[in-house]
Amino acid sequence: MKKIGVYPGTFDPVTYGHIDIIKRSLKVFDKVIVAVAPSLQKAPLFDVDERVLMIKEATREFKNLQIEQFEGLLVEFVQRQGGTVIIRGLRAVSDFEYELQMALMNRKLDSEVETVFMMPSEEYTYLTSSIVKAVASYGGEVKDFVPEIVLKKLKEKLGKKNK
């Protein structure tokens, strides 16, 4: 039986921290599905189709990786995909309380779906999509934090010339 892990998020935009979690997840699971949520609550800079395309471009060399958008309950998406594990990144203790609540609720909704927490490499522990967008919106350099496709799309969207 194939072990399928689902890595959900808004990925607005995808960062090297996300890609780090994807790479390491692919060492653990036979297949990883990146599940891109629309997340209207967060008022994303990029629409869901743009985010899916950026992730596909940034991860095109990875094998056994699938990028999908989803709406609704995550556990139902995981079930439809034949997955059994939700992959979540934890950067700091501040992430833990929220992630624990979500994991426990998902377990209550479907006791067959487990949540696995992965810590990013040290160099990405402070990195968030929100920080990247904030820095880029003021014209700051973000090339060390995001793939080339994201850098290009940030410049287009924000109309700023990064150094």
Does a structural domain hold residue 141? no
| Residue 122 φ/ψ, nearest 5 degrees | -50, -40
Residue 66: enclosing H or E segment and its boundaries? strand 65-69
Give residue 19's domain range.
Answer: 4-122
51-106 pLDDT, tens digit each: 999 999 999 999 999 999 999 999 999 999 999 999 999 987 778 899 999 999 99
So what's the pLDDT on residue 92?
Answer: 79
Does a structural domain hold residue 72? yes
So what's the pLDDT on residue 93?
Answer: 78
Instruction: Dump the DSSP string for 21-64.
Output: HHHHHHHH-SEEEEEE---GGG--SS-HHHHHHHHHHHTTT-SS
| Residue 161 φ/ψ, nearest 5 degrees | -100, 110
Q: Alpha carbon of 50 to those of 13, 28, 40, 79, 88: distances in Å?
A: 9, 28, 15, 25, 22
Helix axes 48-58, 148-158, angle to 10 degrees: 150
So what's the pLDDT on residue 29?
Answer: 97
Does a structural domain hold residue 127? no
Catalytic residues: 18, 42, 91, 129
CATH number of domain containing 37: 3.40.50.620
Averaged pLDDT, 36-45: 85
Does a structural domain hold residue 95? yes
Does a structural domain hold residue 159? no
The total domain count for the chain is: 1
